[in-house]
């Protein structure tokens, strides 16, 4: 059985300016590798904020791209879908996800599960506490016999994107101003890049200098 694995930033880019000459980038929406390639010419938007979908039109475009010839190259009507969600996801958010996948993409079956529960399953356990920190939200989720305990879940809207914003602030204090959405993606890549043998980016006493970042992958 052939398994396909694709990973890309959950963002969508649109041209900053109207196309007026030959040779300019073509297209209205840029997702995945194309958005990365042309990010300097795009305004980047994030349809998911703090674990909740805020822009369903953009979310639909991202799912359509996922099924397209550029990614999975499959017919959505032929494959059931397993979708993960953050703990305490509002009911109307879950209902909208189901509506979109059933009515627009005509999937034959859908199962929505909490990320923390699946993470615990992957370790061979059904009881434990999972600390789930993603791009927009962080949760501490107690799980007993395979079921999350909603009344005991702790949530904070502080996660990876906030760390990226803080790193951008520190860079700005050192004289490197990265203010556009495309430049924000550059800061995110700096944050997630593994240091090479010749370059170590250090965050000491809440300060990081541009010199320390110079030459990092």
Whether 145 contacts 126, CB under 8 Å: yes
Q: What is the mean pLDDT of residues 113-133?
A: 94
Tell me the pLDDT band of 3, cut-offs 50, 70 and 90: low
Q: Which region among 12-16, 79-83, 118-122, 154-158 has the lowest average model confidence (pLDDT)?
A: 12-16
Superfamily of domain 46-123: ATPase, nucleotide binding domain (3.30.420.40)
C-alpha atoms less than 13 angstroms from C-alpha of 155 in its C-beta half-sphere: 15
**Digit-coded pLDDT (tens) for 57-71:** 999 999 999 888 778
pLDDT at position 1: 47
Residue 23 has pLDDT above 70, yes or no: no
Residue 32 vs residues 9, 68, 124, 166: alpha-carbon distances, Å: 6, 12, 33, 25
pLDDT at position 214: 42
Q: Which region among 15-19, 101-105, 146-150 has the lowest average model confidence (pLDDT)?
A: 15-19
Closest to 88 measured CA to CA, from 125, 140, 123, 11: 140
- Tell me the backbone φ, ψ of residue 141, rounded to 5 degrees: -120, 110
Two structure tokens written together for 189 = 């890549």
Scan for tokens 């320390």, then name that residue.
Answer: 212
pLDDT at position 37: 78
Enumerate the CATH 3.30.420.40 domain ranges in the chain, comma separated.
46-123
pLDDT at position 202: 47
Angle at 122 between CA 118 and CA 128, to 5 degrees: 70
Two structure tokens written together for 101 = 């996948």
What pTM did the predictor assign?
0.71
- According to DSSP, the β-strands at 154-156 and 138-144 are antiparallel
Long-range contacts of 141-147 (CB under 8 A, 24+ apart): 141/87, 141/114, 141/116, 141/117, 143/116, 143/117, 146/117, 146/121, 147/117
* pLDDT more than 70, % of the chain: 82
Two structure tokens written together for 136 = 């927009």
């Amino acid at each position: 059985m052939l398994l396909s694995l694709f990973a890309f930033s959950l963002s969508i880019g649109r041209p900053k300016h109207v196309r007026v000459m030959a040779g300019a980038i073509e297209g209205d929406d840029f997702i995945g590798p194309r958005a990365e390639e042309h990010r300097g010419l795009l305004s980047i938007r994030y349809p998911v904020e703090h674990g909740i979908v805020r822009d369903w039109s953009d979310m639909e475009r991202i799912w359509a791209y996922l099924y397209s010839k550029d990614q999975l190259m499959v017919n959505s009507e032929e494959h059931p879908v397993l979708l993960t969600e953050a703990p305490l996801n509002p009911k109307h958010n879950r209902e909208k996800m189901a509506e979109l996948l059933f009515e627009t993409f005509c999937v034959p079956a859908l199962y929505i599960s909490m990320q923390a529960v699946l993470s615990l399953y992957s370790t061979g356990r059904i009881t434990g506490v999972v600390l789930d920190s993603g791009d927009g939200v962080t949760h501490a989720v107690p799980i007993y016999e395979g079921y999350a305990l909603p009344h005991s879940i702790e949530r904070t809207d502080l996660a990876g994107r906030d760390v990226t914003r803080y790193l951008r602030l520190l860079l700005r204090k050192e004289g490197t101003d990265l203010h556009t959405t495309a430049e924000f993606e550059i800061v995110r890549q700096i944050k997630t890049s593994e240091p090479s043998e010749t370059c170590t980016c250090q965050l000491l006493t809440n300060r990081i200098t541009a010199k320390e970042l110079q030459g990092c992958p």
